[in-house]
Amino acid sequence: MRFLNGPVSEPPPPPFNRKPAQGAGPIRADLAHHSGRTSQFAQAALLAGAAGALLALLFLGGWIWRLAISDLPAVPDRQTLWSLNRPPGVTFLDRAGRVVGQRGPLHGPPLTLKALPPYVPRAFLAAEDRRFYTHPGVDVFGALRAAAADLKSRGRSLQGGSTITQQIARTLFLTSDQTLKRKVQEAALAFRIEHLLTKDEILELYLNRIYFGDGAYGLEAASQVYFAKPAPALTLSEAALLAALPKAPTQLSPTNDLSAALARSRLVLAAMEQAGWITPAERAFALAHPPAVAGEPRSEGDFGYVLDLAGREAQAVNRTRTPDLVVRLTIDAELQTAAADAVRAAVVSGKARGVTQGALVALAPDGGVLALVGGVDHRASPFDRATQALRQPGSAFKPLVYAAALEKGLLPSDVRPDAPIRIGSWRPENADGVYVGPVTLSDAFARSINTVAVRVAEEAGPEAVGALARRFGLVNIPAKPSAAIALGAYETTLLDLSSAYAVFQNGGRRCEPYLISSISNARGDVLFARNPVPPPRIYDPVKAGEMVEMMQGVVTHGTGVKAALDRPAAGKTGTSQTYKDAWFIGFTPDLLAGVWLGDDRDRPMRGVMGGGLPAEAWRRFMMAAEKGAPPRAFDLVAPPPDPEKEEARRDFYGALADAFDQTLAETAPPEGQETQTPPQP
């Protein structure tokens, strides 16, 4: 018997009933008896071995069944395979319904083999599974050949051990764990898929579901991402490059390592020529004309920080497994661009003085986030300084201090001394070291006088100030703060502090900031829709109006004059100790915005204060945001009438009018004398 190309086995011994050869000796009965007994033992041993082997096979089969086959995932119908376990993609729309970004995988429309040039699918067969149309789903000889080639080339071989059908099974049903169980399940699922689909259908499913790197799933998405063209328009060299990627899509991505991707694509072209699928001339032409990659990976422009926050919120709101989501945001695309421009310009202007980062957030009166910039460059640093960075607000916290004082009965017209003050061992001072003596609370607020703010906080009580701050949304303020709360010693985020200012803008009502208006799936089914409810009133509207008037003074004649607009505006400056943080937060009746400038390493800036660069950046943004909108006055709630004060007011102005009339009478010319009208300039 010949075993493949091995040696021929020895001939079997002659049967026992055969006559002895000529010249042979006499037959010995004892030897014949002994030989018969040996044959019986051999037969028994053979039967025992066969039984043992059968039991071993049964045991092995049962073990394999229990290990892998018993919990094998079910293979659904062919239509379901196209969307089974497809990673969900998210499309983000701005408030006007325009696409501003996409997150997660990109999926192109399904492709058929007929729509592609023949060399496109052949490039993938050359790279992944040359015997695809001849094996039943698992290619034993191909796996052995690939292993030998990999061993010989030390891992540089083009060939792989898994067929295209096995790769589909792994992609749709299994993990990439290199375990015996996974390999067995992969093979079993491959056989089932081969039974369910034709070879062409399997290849089409593969081309539409395989991952190519850079978030692209499927050939059409990969063609658009890397070459900005549809898959049917791919050239031979481009097809070979894409066929090179599924082996290691992240490492071989052309945007990550173009030279490695091109090196593997040359192996694909060589394999195609060897298989007779392209001519030597076609291969030479493809090598002479390597593909040009479209450019950089997908860029999110000025929306990176917005999409980070929106993605987290969408995941928290929508907990269903949906293939694709469409998330509508409150973001205004034009305002987002204006906000990013304002932050970048401010950082450039302040670079020489230690400004390295900035942030800006803009809110509609109902709390909708219209713009959010968390830094200068999201790709360089995705850390969001608008929502994640905790910073000392300095004097930007003072509106909450004065709001607590008004709630305790103080009035903007009350007078307090601007003079040195000591609380225990703490001796707060004014930024300029100057004291002006008695001053109204309104004027002290506009000029951001520290000593008066500390006195006001002590009168209201630090705990009352902290309680009001938490009511306004500053969750990081402790229950029992120290006296230093008067000067903004406790850290907060730009978004939280800006949202707290909105209470004054909204007449004492608290509107929670929100970024997502609705979430739907690709079919248009609404999965989430924000249900607007009347915001609760958390602060007296009269006192909110008084605070707005005080904050207007900051812009008209106080520390924030560089933020002045061509319309009514209110706000407050803030600078933390040693100039590490500079803030300006302000609003008009229609829009609120907050700006922060500083340094990520917490290094002091050189003379950068809230009334400087932050106020200028705020004004730049607000001028762009409200361009063309008519100016509108604040709708403030007047205090209830006080009869005694009203009578005193009438007496005062009545006496003033009488004195004015008397002055006119004394200076009037004698009766009958004409006056000469001076010439007009």
Active site residue 35: no
Distance CA(273)–CA(269), nearest Å, equals 6
What the block records as the tokens of 365 is 């009166």
Distance CA(400)–CA(407), nearest Å, equals 10
Of 461, 466, 432, 462, the closest CA to residue 449 belongs to 432
In contact, 344 and 596? CB cutoff 8 Å: no
Distance CA(454)–CA(449), nearest Å, equals 9
Alpha carbon 234 to its chain's center = 32
In contact, 558 and 448? CB cutoff 8 Å: yes
Only one residue has tokens 């050869």, namely: 21
Q: Give the DSSP H or E segment for 518.
A: strand 516-521
Half-sphere exposure of 66 (CA within 13 A, CB side): 6
Distance CA(428)–CA(420), nearest Å, equals 8
In contact, 130 and 142? CB cutoff 8 Å: yes
In contact, 364 and 549? CB cutoff 8 Å: no
Of 603, 182, 653, the closest CA to residue 161 belongs to 182
Active site residue 395: yes
User: CA 492 → CA 198, 368, 385, distances in Å?
Assistant: 61, 20, 11
Between the CA atoms of 360, 365, 367 and 368, what dihedral angle is there, to the nearest 10 degrees?
A: -70
> Catalytic one among 162, 237, 253, 395?
395
Q: How many Cβ atoms are within 10 Å of 497's Cβ, its own excluded?
A: 27
Q: Which amino acid is present at 370?
A: L
- HEC per residue, 158-210: CCCCCCHHHHHHHHHHCCCCCCHHHHHHHHHHHHHHHHHCCHHHHHHHHHHHC
Q: Which residues are catalytic?
A: 128, 395
